[in-house]
Amino acid sequence: MPRDAVPQPVRLSDYRPPDWLVDTVHLDVRLHPTATRILARLALRPNPEGREGSPIVLDGDELSLKSIALDGTPLAGSAYVTTAGTLTVLAPPQRALTLEIETVVDPSANTKLMGLYRSSGAYCTQCEAEGFRRITYFPDRPDVLAVYTTRIEAEREEAPVLLANGNPVESGAVEGTSRHYAIWHDPWPKPSYLFALVGGRLDRITDHFVTATGKKVELGIYVEPGKTERAGYAMDALKRSMRWDEEVFGCEYDLDVFNIVAVADFNMGAMENKGLNIFNDKYVLASPETATDADYANIEGIIAHEYFHNWTGNRITCRDWFQLCLKEGLTVFRDQEFSSDQRSRPVKRISDVRLLKGHQFPEDAGPLAHPVRPSTYREINNFYTATVYEKGAEVVRMLKTLLGEEGFRAGMDLYFDRHDGDAATVEDFLACFADANGIDLTQFALWYAQSGTPHLAVSGHWDAQARTYRLDVVQTLPPTPGQPEKQPMVIPLALGLVGPDGNDLPMRLDDGTNAERGVLLVTRPRQSFVFRDVAERPVASLNRGFSAPVKLTSDLTTQDLVFLARHDADPFNRFDAAQTIALAHLVEATAARRTGRDLPSPAALVEALGATLSDATLDPAFIAQALSVPSESDVAREIADDVDPDAIHDARQALRRALSAALRPALEGAYDRHAPTGAYAPDAASAGRRALRNACLDLLAAGGTAPGLARALAHFRDADNMTDRFLALSVLAHNAPDAREEALAAFYERFRDDPLVVDKWLALQAQIAEPGTLERVRGLTGHPAFSWGNPNRVRSLVGSFAGANQTQFNRADGAGHDFVADAVLELDGRNPQVAARLLAAFKSWRSLEPGRRASAERALRRVAAKPGLSPDVGDIVSRSLE
């Protein structure tokens, strides 16, 4: 591998406090399309905790330095040195001093979308994790907190709107010119990664919020001209988030204004810059005609997430990037709780666990596995992962399960109290929960340090005579990259013992204690728990609510699972019982496919789902979840090695056809009963009805039966909202090769001017499980609606192909792997972050059958051999091959 491709690792154990601190930053930014000039005035002082006598080392990336002065005097050329990544002031006086640095950058040439760049003509910034150094020279690390004042100047014509962090101070014309300016001041010390500015021709909607202590906050959402009608839902979600954070966590907003800007070109979902969140417009813009219920739910969740960062991330930030989960895992947990309170808690939990299993479990089982808090990285951009975010949230959720509602809140209160204004660590966080509750969390902390998904094997033994029920639990944690040996974890195992009548039996352990809040603490490799006074054989409902992010196997029989699917008081496990039956069926059916044996009978699943479908007490959204059988990648993960994606696909299709046939009357009945009753509304109850109706349609049309397709065509024709229209389109695209092209063409004609809807159209086509799809996707890369420059387009087309089309990405002839490798190389020169994410689609390559594994390896080696790879792609490819 070329040397430049693999940067030197950064290690957590090497952390040292900064040698110089920055108290204030004054920026004067003169916006210009190709030569924006940034004048930075930094008030620096030596850090008493740093090394005495240190030079001032500032980070910089692709900057053109125009001038530098110390306390008003230009620095002589011999007084400083620059390298590709740094500017060092040699032998500075060891006292408080001022540096004035003038740099010039070209925002129009910035295709990495890090630092200052342009999106649809507007100027915007992205600084997390290390983008501020692409604007000016700075100690660009999160433990340097400063107070920022930002003056932005631009042509009034080009950029009538000028925004930055904090509160507006002043604005006006630049006398005698066509330019104007605005000054913003952010009183809260913050790390450079939270800096942002925006300049452009934008429309806005406004509103206000009155905080718990009566302070009025002006709210603004800025969008591309003409799109304000689509910002209303985001504003509503913002106000609900602000209220919720006061009520649930006691967190009040702390500036006079809160602004959100939606841009079309963005590497990630959104960014929590202080007082000025910048969003991928996909997570702001919604109307019934253009957004699905899932889009609405995502917008609500992400608006909340970025807002919640104001306390968990901004007021308390991270000491270094190893602590990323300190803000991300915690903030994901908070946004999950918010959405649970706004919608259905069980359904939210089910979809969160689906996401975790679908993305994080495979990551944890492959070559890219890493701890929630990594101890080393070569490129921090590659650690914005499902493990840091989703598993990080699970770890916080486990804390809450262990401590209970009040103990958890006490820990959070102490955290806000003790660390407000700090750049903190995971240890700081855990100490708050330990101190507030008087407990020891040393073993629990292993969740942050050990990677891999723990496995729990559980077996139950009822003794009729002794009236006892014993659970034997064996805990194992597989080896992962860099961690051959593991220590046992603390696993909070929520459970219930379900009696023959379907009700929970009282749980009393033989030591006389009750399993507190229904949770057993598994802390050792092997452990037994004995319950007394158990008069009847119970069925154990294990890991209720998915209390721990583990892979659990048990000795429950299929009949036990059918029983739980009908009766479990825990809705998550009711869902999970049926999924477990389906997964076992699919694993067996896949093996049968490959060896030419007869397929197993789906009778048990039919029974479980039939009961679910006809249970009028259940939430429609819940039933919809139950009807959706495990995905192809769920099955691949369960099989774990020698995976043949075609066999999995065939087995899954056969199961869906069988369910369709066996449940037809019930599915048709539910479809008809959940017809729309009024105009579209995005609320959870209405969305739940649509979800159920659409899940029924999806199954009814499985395999392309004539009545199912007729229904789908009518559904497509009659739809008055994007949820229904797009579901019908996908049903047709996947199951009706004859009706597909016409429907796709009609959809494109209708929405061709709407890039976010065109993304759906691209993604759908990339997911069709047919050999023709690769050619179709290749063709679409030349379609006028596609662009390699826009991350949303690339993710929709190429990302969906690589990440959501198991059979075609993993084609037996290797053409799918080659195509994605080529796309990664094509993109790397332009946008390394997006390229590296795409390459991570290879994360499960080692579990493929030998032929496909060889083709994946060839593709990866070809990427690795390319000279001049970015650090982002170089890091992913080298870890993938390790």
What positions carry a catalytic annotation? Answer: 306
270 or 655: whose CB is closer to Zn ion?
270
Q: Do the Cβ atoms of 845 and 880 come closer than 8 Å?
A: yes
Q: Which of 134, 305, 349, 370 binds ligand PHE (CB under 6 A)?
A: 305
Q: Using CB under 5 A as the criterion, what x/- string covers residues 330-369 for binding Zn ion?
A: -x--------------------------------------
Kindly state the DSSP code that residue 377 receives in the 8-state scheme: E
Residue tagged 């790390």 (tokens)? 191
- By CB under 6 A, how many residues form the interface with ligand PHE? 13
126 counts as binding ligand PHE under rule CB under 6 A = yes
130 counts as binding ligand PHE under rule CB under 6 A = no
Closest separation in Å from C-beta 761 to ligand PHE: 26
**Residue 166 identity:** G
* Closest listed residue to residue 564, CA positions, set 519, 513, 608, 598: 608
The partner in contact with residue 271, picked from Zn ion, ligand PHE, none with C-beta cut-offs of 5 to 8 angstroms by kind, is ligand PHE
Closest separation in Å from C-beta 270 to ligand PHE: 6
Kindly state the DSSP code that residue 37 receives in the 8-state scheme: E
385 or 765: whose CB is closer to Zn ion?
385
Task: Tell me which stretch binds ligand PHE (CB under 6 A): 125-133, 368-376, 440-448, 680-688.
Answer: 125-133
309 or 486: whose CB is closer to ligand PHE?
309
269 or 704: whose CB is closer to ligand PHE?
269
Residue 395, H or E segment: helix 392-419
Closest separation in Å from C-beta 201 to ligand PHE: 24
311 or 761: whose CB is closer to ligand PHE?
311
Closest separation in Å from C-beta 650 to Zn ion: 39
Q: Which of 29, 197, 271, 797 binds ligand PHE (CB under 6 A)?
A: 271
131 or 688: whose CB is closer to ligand PHE?
131
Residue 515 CA from chain centroid, whole number: 33
CB atoms within 10 A of CB 102: 16
Kindly state the DSSP code that residue 81 receives in the 8-state scheme: E
C-alpha 179/C-alpha 177 separation (Å) is 5
283 counts as binding ligand PHE under rule CB under 6 A = no
The partner in contact with residue 268, picked from ligand PHE, Zn ion, none with C-beta cut-offs of 5 to 8 angstroms by kind, is ligand PHE
Burial of 849 (0-12, 13-18, 19+ CB in 10 A): middle
267 or 437: whose CB is closer to ligand PHE?
267
300 counts as binding ligand PHE under rule CB under 6 A = no
Closest separation in Å from C-beta 280 to Zn ion: 13
237 or 491: whose CB is closer to Zn ion?
237
Closest separation in Å from C-beta 824 to ligand PHE: 19
Closest separation in Å from C-beta 309 to Zn ion: 6
Answer positive or negative: Cα dihedral of 224, 225, 229, 235.
Answer: positive
549 or 791: whose CB is closer to ligand PHE?
791
Angle at 334 between CA 477 and CA 404, to 5 degrees: 70
C-alpha 847/C-alpha 861 separation (Å) is 17
337 counts as binding ligand PHE under rule CB under 6 A = no
- By CB under 5 A, how many residues form the interface with Zn ion? 2
Angle at 422 between CA 187 and CA 324, to 5 degrees: 110
C-alpha 647/C-alpha 653 separation (Å) is 10
Q: Do the Cβ atoms of 832 and 788 come closer than 8 Å?
A: no
- Give the footprint of ligand PHE on residues 361-390 (CB under 6 A): 384
Token couple for 637: 């993960």
The partner in contact with residue 384, picked from Zn ion, ligand PHE, none with C-beta cut-offs of 5 to 8 angstroms by kind, is ligand PHE
Q: Which of 130, 143, 224, 328 binds ligand PHE (CB under 6 A)?
A: 328
Closest separation in Å from C-beta 327 to ligand PHE: 7
Closest separation in Å from C-beta 304 to Zn ion: 11
- Give the footprint of Zn ion on residues 293-332 (CB under 5 A): 328, 331
Q: Is the peptide bond before 712 cis (omega within 30 degrees of 0)?
A: no
* Closest listed residue to residue 313, CA positions, set 292, 301, 331: 331
248 or 599: whose CB is closer to Zn ion?
248
- Give the footprint of ligand PHE on residues 210-269 (CB under 6 A): 267-268
Q: Which of 59, 100, 128, 828 binds ligand PHE (CB under 6 A)?
A: 128
872 counts as binding ligand PHE under rule CB under 6 A = no
Angle at 548 between CA 542 and CA 550, to 5 degrees: 85
Q: Using CB under 6 A as the criterion, what x/- string covers residues 625-664 for binding ligand PHE?
A: ----------------------------------------
271 - beta bridge partners? 278
- Helical residues (DSSP H) of 250-356, grouped into ranges: 293-308, 324-342, 345-355
Residue 30, H or E segment: strand 20-30
C-alpha 288/C-alpha 302 separation (Å) is 19
Residue closest to ligand PHE, measured at CB: 268
The partner in contact with residue 686, picked from ligand PHE, Zn ion, none with C-beta cut-offs of 5 to 8 angstroms by kind, is none
Q: Using CB under 5 A as the criterion, what x/- string covers residues 429-468 for binding Zn ion?
A: ----------------------------------------
Residue tagged 């496990």 (tokens)? 573
Burial of 344 (0-12, 13-18, 19+ CB in 10 A): buried
- Both ends of the chain: CA-CA distance in Å? 12
Q: Do the Cβ atoms of 197 and 150 come closer than 8 Å?
A: yes
Q: Using CB under 6 A as the criterion, what x/- string covers residues 465-494 for binding ligand PHE?
A: ------------------------------
Burial of 179 (0-12, 13-18, 19+ CB in 10 A): middle
The partner in contact with residue 128, picked from Zn ion, ligand PHE, none with C-beta cut-offs of 5 to 8 angstroms by kind, is ligand PHE
Q: What is the DSSP string of 513-580?
A: ---GGGEEEE-SSEEEEEE----S--EEEESGGG-S--EEEE---HHHHHHHHHH-SSHHHHHHHHHH
Q: Which of 59, 265, 272, 281 binds ligand PHE (CB under 6 A)?
A: 272
Residue 670, H or E segment: helix 664-673
| Site residues (vs Zn ion, CB under 5 A) | 328, 331
| Site residues (vs ligand PHE, CB under 6 A) | 126, 128-129, 267-268, 270-272, 305-306, 309, 328, 384
